[in-house]
Amino acid sequence: MLKLTRQEVQIFLEEAADSFPHDACLTCECFLGYVTRLRVDSDETSQDLINEYQVERKNMHSCLGCDPCPPGDMYAEYNRKKAQSGLITLS
């Protein structure tokens, strides 16, 4: 399976962080789910970038219900593109 490059991960993370409508997005499950997916899909050279966005579980919070939710939308779009490319299958 192809892994995301460091540059791709950096772009995805920066775009998501730049889209935050609230400071609380940094610790929201919507964004952190995206970060986790990027960790799984990236090569080892990207882990330090991803680690910058990791938070302790006790500091995470559930979705605030923002509409729109840019980080959540980016995560959903990423998953759609991956599914369409055949790199993942949705069950």
- Rounded CA-CA distance 67/55 in Å is 23
Confidence band for 5, pLDDT divided at 50, 70 and 90: very high
- Domain residue spans of the chain: 6-85
The pLDDT > 70 percentage for the chain reads 92
Max CA distance (Å), the chain:
35
- Rounded CA-CA distance 45/53 in Å is 15
- Rounded CA-CA distance 49/76 in Å is 21
pLDDT in tens, 12-55: 999 999 999 999 999 999 999 999 999 999 999 999 999 999 99
- What is the value of pTM for the model shown? 0.86
